[in-house]
Chain A
Amino acid sequence: MESTRIVQALRQALIEEMDRDENIVLLGEDIGVFNGSYRVTEGLLDKYGERRVKDTPISEIAIVGAAVGAAMTGLRPVAEIQFNDFMGCAMDQICNQAAKIRLMMGGQVSVPLVIRAPYGATGRAAQHSQSLEAWFAHVPGLKVVMPSTPYDAKGLLKTAIRDNNPVVFLEHKLLYGAASPGGKAKSVVDELDQTFRPAPEGEYTIELGKGDIKRQGGDVTIVAVGYMVHRAVQAAKVLAEEGIECEILDPRTIVPLDTELILNSLKKTGRLVVVTESVGRCGFAAEVAALASEEGLFELDAPVRRVCAENSPIPFAPCCEADALPDTGKIVKAVREICGK
């Protein structure tokens, strides 16, 4: 059966990979008995048993650190951190250990490890709402993946698991399309168009570092990641009615980054808007803007615009949260501005 939801697509990837390779093991909080707080690991404890699917204590340092130790000695762990915000607790193991071990040890060892975590704001205030890809992208030695569709999620997770390096795999809560710890989770998947491409059954992989054109257009390039891909698609529909055709690029992986895709599109459009749900300052959007100015300056007909979250912790009150986050309207506005409309 094809997976029409990211939660199924990820689960399918885990199953196919675990069936293929005995050394793949899963660990994390509430992933077994409870089936995972967003249900990605549903049924996997039953299927593979406690030897391969391990509920852990609430100990993020040990989750990531033990995964690193196991990865150095022959296993291929896929760790789940319940929310990407809690990766803060494990930052030493992620950034000082996992990311650096191979180089420090002169290439003697590799650390084939995936750390999966949900990100994104859904009304749960400052410590459960962040989008933290830039934290990890800033640390050499880590790869960072952010799928926006079931198709990409499955192909990328399979590749991430086969990769011989630590990969941080970030999943947007609103895109899972599944229940959450609180029961029925907020979800946007029912309102998305065909961009939210289902994942077929069976083997395929997507190379890390290969972006995807989610919409063709000649007037402006929008680079968007994760959930923001779909907000950009919505914005493009509004803008098309005004005669502005947007080309939407989904890099799919932040590290490595498909710079060629971005620069080629820029040659065509001469205009660039970058959209992330994370805060703008020192973020991925700034990186893409730097790419455009260093390598694509003479293609640019207008200033680059970033549409990102405000440089603030996410506030609880819904009206404040909405103010702090990027949305379709803000993308439309930015595009209009650089198109002189």
Chain B
Amino acid sequence: MGSVDKNTALELYRTMLMIRRFEEKLFFLFSTRAMPGSMHQYNGEEAVAAGVCSCLNKSDYITSTHRGHGHCIAKGADVRNIMAEMFAKSTGCCKGMGGSMHIADFGVGMLGANGIVGGGLPHAAGAAWSSQYRGTQQVAVAFFGDGASNEGSFHESLNLAAVWKLPAIFVCENNLYGFSTYYRRSTPIENIADRAAAYGIPGIVADGMDVLAVREAAREAVDRARRGEGPTLIECKTYRYMGHSRFEKPCYRTEEEVQEWKKRDPILCFPKVLKEQFSVTEEELRQVEAYVDEKIEDAVRFAQQSPDPEPEDYKKYIFAK
């Protein structure tokens, strides 16, 4: 698998597992009403965030979506601060001001989840422009959904990035649905990647359930961006296991379809690859799992013990000094 060594492979596994356990924990906490707000979960799509972000440096940028927990974790934000943000605590990465839909960690180049579908794409173009202007070799990745690719901001951002040859990578997480709408009811083509042709940039389809395949596609796109050759559109074919948001029970798809996709679970299928291609042992797998479980428990403890913001704290953040 080319550039992937055993450590990298184990790290990919750890990142995916961290996201999965984080989401599972959140689901539990939400169902016990320990948390305010709403949330959109990433279970099933972990290979996309993990694979793409494994090709990035800490100083590179990503922009995210309403379904942003996975992106935030994969980019290297501390799960303690992400968890605390879910609890609306003052120790959260956004001081409790944003919550699930607005998590961001500028310390690791995570420029923000977004409550507006398509809202992050132009930010990625702009961050890539800024990097090009400053000559820093940083790249910017925009994650977005199949649904978002029907917003004007998708088309405008790709066009701008292409015509300015920006070091940007547009990663479409095609999980087949935009909320309740099957993508072929809103999108007349099979592959959203084909839209790249309209902007004269490469459009790649990757198996979003296979973290190594995602990584390979992202690596090429990142190299291309760093060489100054402009943006790439990558479409990762993937699937969301949970309802669109919090406790929604999907009426627009069948349970069989969900089960069919779960057979290709990016996390459950990976240990076999790790063992066969990277000589990872059972013991090493268990170490990763124990590490992740401990991190998540620690994050929950940290979040629960953290103080709430003061009622008027938000007034500090309306304007910069």
Chain A positions within 8 Å of B, measured between CB atoms, are 29-30, 33-34, 37, 55-61, 85-86, 88-89, 123-128, 181-184, 310-313, 315-320, 322-324
Contacts and interface: CB of A to CB of B under 8 A. Distances in A.
Given A316-B99, A317-B88, A33 B181 contact: yes
A37 B252 CA distance: 13
A183 B242 CA distance: 13
Interface stretch (B14-22, B110-118, B258-266, B281-289): B110-118
B148 interface: yes
A125 B86 CA distance: 12
A61 B152 CA distance: 8
Nearest to B117: A58
A58 B151 contact: yes
Main secondary structure of the interface of A (DSSP, over half): loop
Contacts of B247: 182-184
Residue of B148, B151, B249 contacting most chain A CB atoms (<10 Å): B151
B181 A317 contact: no
Given A124-B37, A316-B102, 10 more contacts: A33-B252, A34-B179, A57-B147, A57-B187, A59-B151, A88-B116, A124-B38, A183-B248, A312-B315, A317-B88
Contacts of B97: 125-126, 315-317, 320
Contacts of A124: 37-38, 99, 101, 115
A125 B98 contact: yes
A310 B248 CA distance: 32
A315 B116 contact: no
Main secondary structure of the interface of B (DSSP, over half): loop
- Contact residue range for chain B? 35 or more
B317 to A, nearest CB: 8
The 6 closest A-B pairs by CB, nearest first: A127-B115, A34-B180, A183-B247, A316-B99, A57-B150, A182-B246
A37 B179 CA distance: 10
A320 B314 contact: yes
A33 B180 contact: yes
Interface in B167-198: 178-181, 185-187
A309 B89 CA distance: 22
Interface string B89-131: 1000010111101100000000000111111000000000000
Interface stretch (B49-57, B211-219, B290-298, B305-313): B305-313
A23 B309 CA distance: 52
Nearest to B315: A312
A181 B248 contact: yes
